[in-house]
Every structure is written in structure tokens, then in C-alpha cells.
Amino acid sequence: MAKSETSSAKASPEAMANAIRVLAMDGVEKANSGHPGMPMGMADVATVLFSKYMKFDASRPDWADRDRFILSAGHGSMLIYALLHLTGYKAATKDELSNFRQWGSKTAGHPEWGHMPGVETTTGPLGQGLANAVGFALAERHLAARFGEDLVDHRTWVIAGDGCLMEGVSQEAIALAGRYKLNRLTVLWDDNAITIDGAVSLSDATDQAGRFKAAGWAVKAVDGHDMKAISKAMAWATKQDKPTLIACRTKIGKGAATMEGSHKTHGAALGAAEIAATRLGMSWDHEPFDLPTEIETAWRKVGKRGGKARKAWEARLARSPHATEFTRAMRGDLPEGAFDGLNAKIAELIETKPAQATRQASGAALDQLFGAIPDMIGGSADLTGSNNTFVKDTPILDGPDYAGRYINYGIREFGMGTAMNGMALHGGVIPYGGTFMVFSDYSRPAIRMAALMGIRVIHVLTHDSIGLGEDGPTHQPIEHLAALRAIPNLLVFRPADTVEAMECWQLALEHRNTPSAMALSRQKTPAVRTEAGCENFSARGAYELKYLTEGEARVTLFASGTEVAIALAAAATLDAEGLPTRVISVPCFELFEQQDAAYQASILGRGTIRVAVEAAVKQGWERFIGEDGAFIGMSSFGASAPAEVLYREFGITAEAVVAAVKARV
Amino acid sequence: MAKSETSSAKASPEAMANAIRVLAMDGVEKANSGHPGMPMGMADVATVLFSKYMKFDASRPDWADRDRFILSAGHGSMLIYALLHLTGYKAATKDELSNFRQWGSKTAGHPEWGHMPGVETTTGPLGQGLANAVGFALAERHLAARFGEDLVDHRTWVIAGDGCLMEGVSQEAIALAGRYKLNRLTVLWDDNAITIDGAVSLSDATDQAGRFKAAGWAVKAVDGHDMKAISKAMAWATKQDKPTLIACRTKIGKGAATMEGSHKTHGAALGAAEIAATRLGMSWDHEPFDLPTEIETAWRKVGKRGGKARKAWEARLARSPHATEFTRAMRGDLPEGAFDGLNAKIAELIETKPAQATRQASGAALDQLFGAIPDMIGGSADLTGSNNTFVKDTPILDGPDYAGRYINYGIREFGMGTAMNGMALHGGVIPYGGTFMVFSDYSRPAIRMAALMGIRVIHVLTHDSIGLGEDGPTHQPIEHLAALRAIPNLLVFRPADTVEAMECWQLALEHRNTPSAMALSRQKTPAVRTEAGCENFSARGAYELKYLTEGEARVTLFASGTEVAIALAAAATLDAEGLPTRVISVPCFELFEQQDAAYQASILGRGTIRVAVEAAVKQGWERFIGEDGAFIGMSSFGASAPAEVLYREFGITAEAVVAAVKARV
């Protein structure tokens, strides 16, 4: 039983697929945790895909024109780790495989982007990988239109399970892909008729082929263990003018000696006895993680298949007039002078002091940025006019004309979020998309994944408080600021006026490893940044907007967004009544936490009377006001009425701030 | 132009529909805010439905066996307000209509359950009304099986728009309805080919008929302005053995003089000139909110159509052997002695002190409750074994046997949440459903709606921290406790052991106007409530679990769930080292906030050294520890490794708690 047995025998495709099965069994067994059933079931499909259709070069996982492979059914992570190991990705060592799911390994329980080269997106929360793939495929077509098919000409392949197809986001994704005729997208459905609780039929009777056809897809069904049929279907897929679904009828845990076809193979180690019997059945006489030489050789050859194409592409890139710009965009660098227009505009705004809604302010920022940064792609979940996300005269990204830079996502907030994640991961584009802030609840799982991966995706969330008025409590965010601020590695910006909105947009674009959420008002608010200064004060997260030029402050007021104006009005009253008051604008909690302790202390103003005002729940503001401070905001859901009535009825007024201060004198 | 013109002319159905159109225009115009396009477009469909098919009696909006009408496209709220007014619902007065969208009115911007009788569920966030309807239809079939069709025999009618059908949750809902063959559910799709941003075709090319058929629905398409065709389709719908979609091809803003068919009618007042011209075109010569007598008479007759059926039903109820039990269940009262078994078990647990995961503890609570409360209906989004939601030997609720009390929701967290909302709103059942806590992000929009409406829905959220281990950061909740606690009117329980789990279940069931989320561990944890006592301490939200019988505390430790054991271990060390320490268990922030100030102060222990420990983000704990306290928890996403390794590596240990205290001595 030694790895080094040499053999001149050529490895059969079946034996190559069995290598995936054995590695999956062994990895899960060693960890005593994981999901062997899916990798074993889809091993045949994956073997055909990688051996014959995927365009990739294992020695260059970052080749820009590679095909993307997305394991939407992320629990089957051993499938991708096995494939990367077998095809010779440097990082996917035997050690990594045998450290599956352990602290510090690259082989996390679910595939994590940024940990293991070859993993294109983090998957696990079902449906999202499939939905990311739509973003990959959109980005590919857009960049092909922008830079030419000489440089951009690749496919996106997805393995999805029943869970992915049951999740609602899959409908948003397939409808988008169908609408945009993303014909370089192929989904390989692991149609094993099994879920964790038992047969799929317990909870589902959907005719998936019919459903995908209705969404504008071409569909073929094959026996997922018939490699010739699989290959034929993949060849067919590459020739369609629409996205393609290949329904692969498989047996979960295929090859397992006694457990093949059972949901018991889904989420637990098979056990030593079953594994031994399975090895015997496969005539696999090797130690865990060891490979027969002929298998290893065959798979390594697969890993090198794309080398020639990759070199040819590099040569094309070298002589392309787009080389510099393409490389810059794919690296995620911003063009030089990206913010020149913005900064000039800020200087102007300090003078003109426009009173406008911060969603309009955001639109004004986009007016400055969109031309300067050709990588930006905007969009909205059917609220374009309300979100101020559309820059005048921008061509629409559409089926025939993928060069457009604005996407009509339809009423699909989650689908938009996942597509934006896919686009950002693909590279070459910087996506932003709008909806009402309250519907960040719909896109939240995508926002979380962006934060977890650390990718630059910008959510434009307008109508950010009861200030939206008559649409009422179903549309009024109350807890959303707190809920978004709770997500690690997400920048939540709530600018107070046009200048801050511009500063926040710059910060969002500069943070390449952090997604951002822009909380923007529906209602008008006055300019509050009216003094010239060359610093981006919003970068501090919280800063002294109104300060005392002499004497000591007795009061510190904290506020964000449209409530900064309320704090300023209260401060004017308090000053006049002999209570010297500072006002701290807090456009971004997270950036404030990154400041040094001395700066934080100077802002917090312990010893002064502290009051915070934000038209939202208190949670999180204790950081600023301590245990004895007052909070003026919301503690219930909102109501349906004009905005000014709501502010008055819910007591979010300068008078309430003043009263809270006086009660503490 | 007087209301009182008498006329012997019989109102035509077209004129009756125009009454809806005029009221919708007038309501929106008066408010200068709202959505006239949809009510005008669907007026014909609604007129046929209410005049001929809906079983209802306007004088008794609470008749248990009424058909349910759900306006999933909730922005068209003037449609339902107009219908309720026209048919004579007492609360839907002319004054209410003319106070549309104003403070204190029952005519909120989107229809709100509990404000206006006749509104069956709060809608607005698209897709959710349709998805609630699946819950209504499930509850109806279940109660019919339980109490007989003599008492329960009604339909659920939904008006849904393109937005509802684009949202992913619609797929989860229609797949569930198809799987469960909910043939008393009919969706009337307002197929007007228009969204806010313009034509539906901008963002969608779905063949909706094909899609619904693939989900197991029967489908018919009609001209939505041809009342005979509509009526025929509705008659057809009532005879199918599966759920039905009637695609009603309509013109948005139908009847508007110049704006008919334009997306401009969607979300804004039409303006005085357009309204005047439209009135002229309809020969509608009446003041705003005034009705011609013949129209009023005709509509009032419609409102009384169901009176006879209602009285017959009341007679059946009166002589039914199920009368008492049916009435109790529909009222939402718990059976007498519902908690006797639970309380006996608690007494036993104090003695046996079992160490087990709190998800198992929750399962043990269900073992006691499920038999005692026949209204409870369980389920899981395909994680039954992991969520411990299934009580042994429970029959499954299924197509042929709706009497079952456990629902296989499939991998559809949001669909489950919305269905549970619909069930709770229908009445007669108390739904609970399980998933992993991290996927509360998927069901979050439904949880919010339950909180906004104030309905008893219980979310069982297991695997509540990094303690879930190897599945890694995609599956580890970090921010979810904070994010859930941020939602107003939601009880978030995180019990520390089996006794607390039982107490929390009792509280969740007793709070009839509040949904609950149970945060439960995957991993084992010791019993911490080991002293007998007749009080439900969890009802206090936070309570002194380990107290000092003499002397003054120098340290107060706060913790929830599995971290309570860590706090107790730290306290033992601190006590031994001469730092007398209290431990506060905090199973529910929200209930703590409801306690009186003196109790809160006694718990908070200002002046002592305060440390909180929870394997989650800090946000919210400042309430307990103040500005100088320490927090031991998470500030980043988790990682993939065994649970005990993660607790050690992320520093959530008794040693870390002790060190934090000592640093503050």
C-alpha cells in the first residue's frame, strides 16, 4: 500500500472519479465532520467537467480569463478541495486535505474565498452560490463588451443541489439569468432526490425542468453517472443562446458500499467499516490521502490542460491596447484622479450649502464618480428614481448590449445583492445597487456574505427612517441601522448632508476589502458642513461638527444623518441658555472604532451631559452616551403619516433633545 | 352633485368597479401620497370576486369561516379600503378613507392587520402576502381535518402583482402550495406588465404560467377587464384539485383619462386635472368620497351576501361537539393545564441536572408541551434532526392528511416564516419552525412582520454561536443575537440550560401578541439552574443565578445561553481569590427592559466590576456593563474548527473573564 507504486496503466475516468470519492470519504472521516454524500454523488460530473470542459490552469488560479467553477452546494466542500488537490493547485496539499475543517487550515467546512485559491466564492448558505454565478456571468459579458472577447471569453459553471433550488433566491437568480440571456452560465443540478430530512418529495414536487424553461433557460437531463451522456450535455450547453441547466440524476453517496443513495451520507462521516468496504468495492488499495500514481498523473494532466490557452491569452493581453486598463480594472485599483471631480464639488458645496435629501446628495456624488471610475456598474431593485442610483445618459446593460453600466435588477433585492457579490468577485467591476433600506432585510444574507468575504460591494439604501412618511411601518427602517452595524466588516454610512455623502462615497470606494451600506434619507435636510477644510472628516467615523472655540463644553450631542440638523438646532438653544454644547456627527460607527483611543476619548466627552439622536433604535448608541446619557429615537415600529408629523409624534425633535439635556443638568 | 340623489337605476358591475377607481383616486389625491394605479387596474377583478365568490359578511369581519382576502400587492391599499367601505365594514368609514395615510387613521399607507377589520395580514414588503396565504390555506385545511368541514371550509384569495412574483419568497410559497395541493388557494395576478422603473420586460422575461404549472398549480389567463371571463375563471378555480393562478391581464390605472397604462399611475396622486377628466369619462358627478345611491346600495348588498351562510355556520357551531374547543383554539387561548407537565418536568430537572445542548432541552420542552397544546404545529426548514423540533410519533401534515401536526417546509426559511405568519393570523394554530440561527437572516423579513403585527409565531434557531464548530463562519451566527434583539416587539430567548429552556418556551407561548426567537446551542452545556424555586425566573429577562448570601459583591458577571456556564466557572475562581462575584443569567433582554427600575438597578449592580460574556458581538451589552465594563465575545466572523478550539482561540473562556475582572480591580 505505497503511494509510489508505478504503473503504466492509464487511469480510467471512472477511477479518476473514484479518487474524488475516496478523498471526500477520507477527509470527512479524519475530521469526523463534513458531507461526503454530495462529492461522491457528483464525482462523475465533476470529473467530466474538469477533464474536458473547464478552461483553467491549476498553476495560475488567478488567470483572469479562466472559467469560474462555483460549488453552490458548499457543504460538499470536499469535492472542490479534492479537485484542486488532484489537478495540482499548489495550495491544496495533502496536509490541507487531511486538516479538513481544522483551525488554521485552508480547507474550511464550507469553501471560503480568499482561503484556498481556486475557490471563487464562499458558499454554504444555500442558493447564494448559484445567485453569485449570475453576477459572474454578467461581469464576464460586460467586460467582454468593454475589452473584447480576445481578453474576456469564459464560462461560469455551477454545481447546485436541491437546497439551492428550493431557496427563493434561486428564482431571482434564474429569472435574471434568463432575462439577460447569460448563455455562458451552466448549472449542473445534483438531482439526487434527497434532502437532510429524507426524500425531496417530502417537501417538494416542483418540475425543475419546467421551471427553468419558464425562466428562459435551456434544459437537458442526464444520468449523472453516465460520463458520455454528461459530456454530450456539456458540449450542448456551450452551444446554447441562453443559460443552461443540466439536471444530473445522481445517487447521493454514489459508490458507498451499503449507504449509497441514503440521506445518511449527507452530513456525517461514513465510518471506518463503510469506508473499508467501499475501498474494497473500488479496488482502492491505498492509505488515506494517498493516490495511485496513474491516477495522480492523469489528474495532474487535467490541471495542465489549460496551460496553452492561458499562455496564448497572456500573449494577446501583452499586445492588447487595453492591457493597462484591463489589468488595472481586474486588480481593483481605482483610476488615477478618481476623486478629483468629487473633491472639487465638495469645495463648491461648502459654498452653496444645498438643502436636499441625502439620497439626492448620493446621486450628486455618483454624478461626479461614475464617469471617473469606468468600473462602476449601478442598478436598483426597481426603485431607480427613488434611490437616485441612475446617472443621466448611462446606457442600460442588456441582453444585446452588455456594455451598458446600469442594471435593472427587478424586484429582487436578494438576487441583486448576490449578483453584486458575484460581480465583485469576478473582478473588473465595482457594483452598487439600490433599494429601500427596510428591504436590506431581504438582501441581508448577501450583505453578510460580502462582509465575510471582504469584497467591495456598495448597497445604496434610501428612505432610511420614519422620514419616509406615509408608506408606513412596513417601509420604515427602525432596527436596520443597528442590525447592519452589528455585521462585522461592514461599513454603515449615514451621511448628514451632501458633503458627507460625497465623503462617504469616497470612503466606500477606497475600502476594497469591505462592503458598504449607505443609509440615505428620502426627506430634505439642510447642509451642515459649511466650513472649508481639506480633510475627509467622515473618515474619522465621528467628528466634532460644531465645536467650541473657547470655554469648556457642558453638553455633547451625537447624531447621524438627518438628525444632525436636529442636534444642531438643539445646540443653538442650549448655547443660548448657557450650556455650551458640542455636536458630534457620526456618519460611520465602524470607522470611529478604528480611531486611536485618544481621539475616541476626545469625541466621547465623558463628564459632559451626553445625548444621542437618531430616528432608529437605541442599540449601539450606549457606546457614545454611556449609561447616564439620553437617547432620542425610536423604541417601536413607526406609523403611516407625513414625515414631519411622525418626527413630532415620536418625539424626535430639537425640543426633546433640549429637554433631555436639561433633565440631566 | 349631492350624495343623496336617489335613483332606481341598478348599478352595473362596471359602475361598481368605477366606484373603487374613484375612491382610490380621491384617497391618494387627498393624501397627496399613495398608489392609485393598482386599485384602478384590479377594480374589475375585485368587483367580481367580492360580488360573486368571496364568502364574507361585512357585519362580522371576525367570522371564523370567512374566506380570506389578501392584498399581497399592499401598496394598492386603497383597493381594500374602498372594498371594505363599499361593502359596509363599520370601521371603514368615509372619514377613514379621507384620512388615508394620516396619523391615527386606520387607513395606513399599506394595509395593517389589527388596524382595520377586514385586513387579514399586513402587506407591503412584496411577496410576503402571497406567502402568508400559503399559511392561511394550510391552517384552513388542518383545522378542517381537525374540526370537520362543517366548521372549517373556506378559501384564500390573493391579489399579487409582478413585484410579488419576482421576489424569491414567491417561489418558496408556490412550491409549498403545490406540494401540499392547497386547492382552496387562488392567486389573482395583476398582470399589468408594469413596474416602477417601467415595463416588466426591462427586468423580467419569465413565463409565469409555465412557472406556476411547474410548481403544481393550475393556471388560467383572462382579460382582467372582462368581468364575464373573470367570473368564469373564478368558478373554474373553485373546482380544481390544486392551487390556482388566474393571470389577469390588466391596464394599470385603468380608466384614467390620459394616464391609463402608464407607470406614472403607480405611486403618486394623479392630480386634479387628470382626476376631473377621469370623472368626466366615467360620468361620475359626485364629490370626493361621495357615492351615488344606486352604487352604494349595490355594494352594501354585496356586503350582506354572506349573512345567510354565516348564520347557518353559527347554527352548526352551536350544535357542534367541537364548539368549545374550536372557539378556544380560534381565540388563541391555551388549554387549561397547558404547562402542568412542563412544570412537573422542571421540578424533576432541578434534581437530575442534565447536561445537554439547549436544542435538546428545547426538544424536551416540546415533549411536554406538544401533547398538552393541540394547537401547536411544528416544522423545520429541512433540519428536523438538528433543530430538535419533531416530537416523536407526530403525524406529518401532508396532502392527503392535513390533520398531521408537523410540516416539512423544505429548504425554505423565508417561506416557512411567512407561512407561519399566515397560520398564526388565520388562527386556531400556534406555529413553530426550526432552522439554523444563521439562517434567521433568510427569514428575517418574516420575523419582522410577525413582530410588527404582534402575532404568536415561534422561531426555533439552533446552532446559535461558534459552538456549532466545523461548519465554519458561513454557519456561525455572530451578529444575529444583536440583530434580532434590535427588532421591536420580538422576544429573543437564549436559555442557559434545560430548566431555562422550558421556562422560555412557556413564556413564548404565553405572549400571544409577540413572536419569539429561541436561540439554542448545538453543543452540550451543564445544568445551571439547580436550586428549587417556584418562580419562572426567565420571565424577569435577567436574574441573579449565583448570588451572595452574605457580604457585598465586588463583581457582577452577565451571560446568556451556553456562556452562563463560563461565567459560573469564572465566578468560582473569583470568589476563591477574594472577589465576591454574582452571576446574572440573561435569557431575554426584552423582558428585562419590562421590569421596574428598582429591579433593573438591583440586577445591573453599578459600582461593581462588570463583565459580560456571550459568544457574539458586543452590541447591546453596554446596557449591562456600562462604559467601563468588559465584554468577552466576538468581534469578527468565526472560523471552521471544533467548538472547543474556537472558544479557546477566540478567547471566550472563564480565564478570559477572570483576567478582564482583575484588570479592573
CB–CB of A351/A494 below 8 Å?
no
Element (H, E) at A14: helix A13-31
H/E element, A76: none
Tell me what pLDDT residue B1 has. Answer: 38
**Does residue A22 surpass a pLDDT of 60?**
yes
Question: Which pLDDT does position B9 carry in this prediction?
Answer: 67
Cβ contact B213–A213 (<8 Å): no
- Say if B126 is an interface residue toward chain A (CB within 8 Å): yes
Whether the pLDDT of residue A53 is over 90: the answer is yes
Q: Which three cell numbers stand for residue A180?
A: 439577460
Residue A456's CB is within 10 A of a number of other CB atoms, namely 22
> Please, where are the H alpha helices in B249-335?
272-281, 293-304, 307-319, 323-331
The pLDDT of residue B322 is above 90: yes
Select from B123, B196, B210 the Cβ nearest to the Cβ of A210: B210
Complex ipTM more than 0.95, yes or no: yes
Identify the CA nearest to B43 among candidates B94, B80, B73.
Answer: B80
Angle between helices B77-87 and B37-48 (to 10 degrees): 40
**pLDDT at position A173:** 98
Confidence category of residue B399, pLDDT binned at 50, 70, 90: confident
Q: Please indicate if any CB of chain A lies within 8 Å of the CB of B487.
A: yes
Is the four-CA dihedral A78, A83, A89, A95 of positive or negative sign?
positive
What is the 3-state secondary structure of A493-511?
ECCCCHHHHHHHHHHHHHC
Q: Which three cell numbers stand for residue A488?
A: 462585522
The helix (H) or strand (E) run that includes residue A201 is none
Q: Is B413 a catalytic site residue?
A: yes
Q: Give the cell for residue A411.
A: 424586484
Q: Which residues in chain A are closer than 8 Å to B264, comparing Cβ atoms?
A: none
**pLDDT reported for residue A10:** 83
Minimum CA–CA partner of B396 in chain A: A202
Does A452 contact chain B (CB < 8 Å)? yes
Tell me, what's the pLDDT at A2?
Answer: 41
Distance from CA of A342 to the nearest CA of B (A): 28
Close Cβ partners of B629 (under 8 Å, ≥ 6 residues apart): B609, B610, B611, B612, B622, B664
Q: All domains of chain A, ordered by start, with CATH?
A: 27-310 (3.40.50.970), 339-519 (3.40.50.970), 540-663 (3.40.50.920)
DSSP-H helix ranges across A57-185: 77-87, 94-98, 128-147, 162-166, 169-179
Closest-approach residue (CA) in chain B for A390: B197
pLDDT reported for residue B206 = 98
Dihedral through CA A182, CA A184, CA A187, CA A188, nearest 10? 160
Residue A399 is predicted with a pLDDT of 81
Query: Cβ B448–A441 below 8 Å, yes or no?
Result: yes
Do A191 and A249 form a contact (C-beta atoms < 8 A)? Answer: yes
Task: Show the cell assigned to A195.
Answer: 434532502
- CA–CA separation, B443 and B626 (whole Å): 32
pLDDT computed for residue B503 by the predictor: 98
* pLDDT tens column, A93-126: 999 999 999 999 999 999 999 999 999 999 999 9
Concatenating the DSSP letter of every residue in A279-316 gives HHHTT----TT---HHHHHHHHHHHHTTHHHHHHHHHH
Instruction: Select the residue of A103, A444, A472 nearest B639 (Cβ to Cβ).
Output: A103
Phi, psi for B631 (deg, rounded to 5): -125, 130
Q: What are the tens digits of pLDDT across the range B338-394?
A: 999 999 999 999 999 999 999 999 999 999 999 999 999 999 999 999 999 999 999
B204, B213, B471 ranked by CB distance to A410: nearest: B204
Instruction: Count CA atoms within 13 Å of residue A157 on its CB side.
Output: 24
Q: Retrieve residue A364's grid coordinates.
A: 450628486
pLDDT at B205 over 70: yes
The pLDDT tens digits for B13-50 are: 999 999 999 999 999 999 999 999 999 999 999 999 99
Does residue A109 belong to the interface with chain B, where contact is any CB pair within 8 Å?
Answer: yes
| Cβ neighbours of residue A354 closer than 8 Å, sequence gap 6 or more | A361, A498, A527
In angstroms, the CA A581 to CA A592 distance is 21
Helix intervals (H) in B90-179? 94-98, 128-147, 162-166, 168-179
Q: Taking all residues of chain B, what is their mean pLDDT, rounded to a whole number?
A: 96
pLDDT at A112: 97
Q: Which of residues 575-614 of A touch B (CB under 8 A)?
A: 606
* Per-residue pLDDT band at A4 (split at 50, 70, 90): very low
Residue B72 pLDDT level (bands cut at 50, 70, 90): very high
Instruction: Catalytic residue, from B413, B500, B503, B563: name it.
Output: B413
Q: Please tell me the distance from the alpha carbon of residue A54 to that of residue A76, in angstroms, as a whole number.
A: 19
Across the range B122-137, mean pLDDT stands at 98
How far apart are alpha carbons B651 and B638 in whole angstroms? 12
Other Cβ atoms closer than 10 A to B130: 29
Measured between alpha carbons, how far is A621 from A626 in angstroms, rounded to an integer? 8
Asked if residue B386 belongs to a known ligand binding site, the reply is yes
Which residues, other chains included, contact B485 with Cβ-Cβ below 8 Å and sequence gap of 6+?
A619, B492, B589, B590, B620
Looking at residue A532, its pLDDT comes to: 82
Q: Among A487, A640, A644, which would you mutate to test the B interface (most chain B Cβ atoms within 10 Å of its Cβ)?
A: A640
Residues A163, A483, A499: CA angle, nearest 5 degrees: 120
pLDDT tens per residue, range B600-656: 999 999 999 999 999 999 999 999 999 999 999 999 999 999 999 999 999 999 999
Residue B572: which residues within 8 A CB-CB, separation 6 or more? Answer: none
Task: Please write the tens of the pLDDT for every residue from A307-336.
Answer: 999 999 999 999 999 999 999 999 999 999
Chain B contacts of A119, Cβ < 8 Å?
none
Closest-CA residue of A relative to B198 is: A382
User: Cβ A619–B619 below 8 Å, yes or no?
Assistant: yes
B304 in reach of chain A (CB within 8 A):
no
As a whole number of angstroms, the distance between CA A386 and CA A436 comes to 8
The Cα-based distances of A243 to A128, A157, A177, B40 in angstroms read: 17, 11, 7, 37
Residue B154 labelled as part of a binding site = no
Chain A contact for B202, CB < 8 A?
Answer: yes
